[in-house]
Amino acid sequence: MKTAKPAALAAKATSAATAHAHEPGHTHGVSQEAALTLADEYCRERGEKLTPIRRKVLELLLNSGRATKAYSLLDEMRQIHPGSAPPTVYRALDFLLTAGLVHRIESINAFTVCHDLTQCQHGILVVCQQCGNVTELHQPKLRQALVAQIEDAGYRLASDEIELKGLCSACQAAEAETAAGSAAAVAAK
């Protein structure tokens, strides 16, 4: 697991929720600017710097509100900084991953902001396979039980995070609406 971020930052964040869906521009009830300030303070406490490029990549992820592929981030960076190259974005993402400010969603090869910038220890990510929305579950007992079952089966986790694939409520509603529309069209014939 990634280690908790300093207590000074934890005091500035809101209390943890059981599950939190990512809202564009907000990280766990904190505004985008406050989230960027928290990230900057956290990096300074670690003796590192949230450079303008790293900050911009984090900001783009905050704005997206869902898991975003590196090349999509690169396209957005090129609109702001025309000379941006893939290594620029990948280096920024590597830093943000190491700092625990973002997650890499292996199943869709994308990145998302950690919903709780003060204590990135959720470990269970639910990823919508249709829209890329990510929900972090803060269920330590559930995670421990799941890890124990995995180890009992003879496996060792390759990363700290566990990804579950699913269909978010918005995509379920859109799917149901489409199905209802199709059924109505067939019935009208």
* Binding-site residue positions: 122, 128, 131, 168, 171
Instruction: Classify residue 106 by its DSSP letter.
Output: G
| Contact assessment for residue 171 and residue 130, using Cβ atoms and an 8 Å cutoff | yes
Q: Which residues contact 11 (CB under 8 A, 6 or more apart)?
A: none
Residue 129 CB neighbours (<10 A): 13
C-alpha closest to that of 94 among 127, 117, 70, 123: 70
What are 165's strand-pairing partners? 127
Phi, psi (deg, nearest 5) at residue 20: -135, 125
**Residues contributing to the annotated binding site for Zn(2+):** 128, 131, 168, 171
C-alpha closest to that of 40 among 125, 99, 112: 99
**Residues contributing to the annotated binding site for Fe cation:** 122
Cα Rg of the chain, angstroms: 18
